[in-house]
Structures are given as C-alpha cells and as structure tokens.
Amino acid sequence: MPELTPHTLVVTAHAGDFVWRAGGAIALAASRGERVTIACLTFGERGESARAWRDGLSLEEIKTMRREEAEAAAGALGAEVRFFDAGDYPLVAGPELTDRLVHLYREVQPTVVLTHPLDDPYNADHPAAARMALDARVLAQAVGYPAEGDALGAPPVFFFEPHQPEMSDFRPEVLLDITDVWETKRKAMECLSAQQHLWEYYSDLGRRRGTQLKRNAGPNLGLPSTTYGEAFMRFYPQVTDRLA
C-alpha cells in the first residue's frame, strides 16, 4: 500500500486546549511541511472564558472572540482549524457529533491523532472529547460505515498532558523536544487573551518537561541548557521491529 502523507489530527474540547497541551507538537509537524488539522469541538465559551463574562460580553460575543483567538493561534502554529460549535459545560458525547468526527477522519486520513486523556476529574468536557475521538477512529476504520472516503488505517493516538496530570492518571511516556519551535508556541499562547493567566503556567511546564527530557535523553545529545518539552501518553501499542 502507498505510504500516507503525514497528517496530524488534533481533537480538542475547547478553543485553547490545543495550544497549551500540543502547540509544540503542532508547530513541529508544520515546520516539517506536514499538514495539521484541529477539530475544535467547542469555543470554551461557557467554562473557559470567565474574564469575558466578567467584562459583560454576551454569549455570541464570547464565541466570536474565542473563535478569532483560536484561528490566530492555529495560524501561528501553521495548522488548519475546524470549529464544531457543539457547546461546552457540558460537552455532550453523542452519535451525531461522533459521526461528524468520522467524516473528518475519512476526509483528512490522519497518520497521527492527538487528543485529551480519558480521565479528568476537573473537566468532564475533556474525557468526552477523547471518547468521541477514539470512537470515531474505530468507526472510520469500518469499511461499511456510511461516510465518504476510504476506510481509515490505524493512526497512533497520543493523549496530551492535562492541566493536573497527577489527578488524571497521566504518565509522561513520551517526551517531545519542542525547543526549536518554543517561540512559535509562545506566540500562539499569547493569541489567547481570554486565558492570559495560563501563559506563564504552560511556559513553566514546558521548561520542566524539557528538564526531564534532557535527563531521560542522556548527556550525549548535546541539548541546549534551556530545553522545552511536551509530554504525551500512547493509547494503542507501538508496532515496531526494534526496541529502541
């Protein structure tokens, strides 16, 4: 079978999630000339826009603002974003929304999928997005599923790091060096003015994951003194002919 063109699909619950948790991975893929598509299920208009509500903005004004922020952030990272406008707090997993994701899987034929972990006691929208991302992947593989396009292969799925990993059974199994694109990620973070309080939190997390990355890589890679990283978990087993 012909080798598929590299294409990352990011399934994210809210407008800012893809930036904080996977902005480096997105920017790295884009820097290699690969396509990245972000499926943004909600704008985070109700649960992740407290500052805008306190400023007296209406629901539609907040959705417009968050959409513009997400578009700017995705553009800074080099990705395309699709908005599903499914409504947050709660984001309700259901067959219609899952079907929309199946159609997107069939359309873009991702070779890698990034999404939330399946456990987050602080935000039920995140596991709901993850569950639909996984269900849609399986359905998109079924030749008889009624969606246009070829049946999906078996793209690996990586869970990106939640805000409170210790409470979400998250283990940093994969540490990704994002040093070369850190400034790009930071620029994308600064597009999200509605969540400005998270800029420094995720900058600090990037540095801490970079420190752990250097420790696990060993001294021979010549990594810079300040290294930035992102952490991921694999959901499906890795298939390989060599342990490395």
Left, alpha or beta for 169 (phi > 0: left; psi -120 to 50: alpha)?
Answer: left
Residue 233, CB half-sphere, CA atoms under 13 Å: how many?
16
CA–CA gap between residue 154 and residue 48 (Å, rounded): 33
Integer Cα distance of 75 and 69 in angstroms: 10
Closest CA to 68 of 45, 87, 89, 50: 45
Joined tokens for residue 220: 């021979």
**Per-residue model confidence as pLDDT tens for the chain (244 residues):** 456 799 999 999 999 999 999 999 999 999 999 999 999 999 999 999 999 999 999 999 999 999 999 999 999 999 999 999 999 999 999 999 999 999 999 999 999 999 999 999 999 999 999 999 999 999 999 999 999 999 999 999 999 999 999 999 999 999 999 999 999 999 999 999 989 999 999 999 999 999 999 999 877 666 777 899 999 999 999 999 999 7
**pTM greater than 0.85:** yes
Q: State the DSSP H helix or E strand holding residue 205, giving kind and residue range, or none if neither.
A: helix 199-217
- Read out DSSP for 13-79? SSTTHHHHHHHHHHHHHHHTT-EEEEEE----TTTS-HHHHHTT--HHHHHHHHHHHHHHHHHHHT-
Rounded distance between C-alpha atoms, residue 140 and residue 110, angstroms: 11
- Give the Cβ contact number of residue 27 at 10 Å: 25
Q: For 109, list phi and psi in degrees, rounded to 5.
A: 50, 65
Domain at 7-234, CATH from 3.40.1670.10, 3.40.50.10320, 3.40.50.720, 1.10.287.110: 3.40.50.10320
Domain ranges for the chain, please list them. 7-234
Residue where the block lists tokens 């690996």? 156
